[in-house]
A and B are shown apart, each in its own frame.
Chain A
Amino acid sequence: AQSVTQPDIHITVSEGASLELRCNYSYGATPYLFWYVQSPGQGLQLLLKYFSGDTLVQGIKGFEAEFKRSQSSFNLRKPSVHWSDAAEYFCAVGPILTGGGNKLTFGTGTQLKVEL
């Protein structure tokens, strides 16, 4: 079975500081990995995704993530955090092909707070 672990429930950083959010996955095959961001009361927005190829993936809003197969990790990074980055961040793995559609498994999320 696939699973995702986000070890940090809360992270607080100062505006302008660098950020790294951790994600570890368990998956029996080549994983398809995603990072989503959710502002309070809103839906989820895709930041970036990894399927294959270059293990350093660039996303929107200045985010990037690096896939490390040997560590089963897909950590999200940003060199300089902005106050508007405060949100909940979810790592997800999958999807599993079923009779149709896709099935994502989400981590428990990391709440990011940005101090001004």
Chain B
Amino acid sequence: DTEVTQTPKHLVMGMTNKKSLKCEQHMGHRAMYWYKQKAKKPPELMFVYSYEKLSINESVPSRFSPECPNSSLLNLHLHALQPEDSALYLCASSQDPRTSGRASNEQFFGPGTRLTVL
């Protein structure tokens, strides 16, 4: 199974709502990622988890709260978002260099969640 799944596919929320995005993989990868992608732009890294611990936070506002409850699952909790947070949120996973000893592990991407903040 080389698939990364994301739910929901689409999400519309108000600025006062609390919602969560979910990502799952069963490839045994120990590194998982959240990216934000605006229209006509490349993906921007938000967070990296390695062995269920937060490895990188790219100065993301606290209204985005990641969680990695186990090695297969990655969540992104959303609260008090702004309209400018509307974007495609992509999850990815890869082998961790500390597992394979290689820095060359490609990332496998999910289909994304299209988020609209009203």
What is the total of A-B residue contacts with beta carbons within 8 Å? 86
Q: Check if B33 sits within 8 Å of A101, measured CB to CB.
A: yes
| Alpha-carbon distance between A46 and B45 when the two chains are bound, in angstroms | 17
The majority secondary structure among interface residues of chain A is: loop
A102, B42: Cβ atoms closer than 8 Å: no
Instruction: For the complex, give the distance between the alpha carbons of A32 and B100 in Å.
Output: 15
Interface size (B, Cβ < 8 Å)?
Answer: 36
Stretch in A66-74, A77-85, A106-114 with 4+ CB within 8 Å of B: A106-114
Please name all residues of chain A whose beta carbon is closer than 8 Å to the beta carbon of B105 when the two chains form the complex: 95, 102
B interface residues, Cβ below 8 angstroms from A: 4, 6, 31-33, 40-43, 45, 48-51, 53, 55-56, 88, 90, 92, 94, 96-98, 102-112, 114
Q: Which 7 A-B pairs have the closest CB atoms?
A: A100-B50, A106-B42, A101-B31, A101-B48, A43-B109, A100-B55, A51-B104
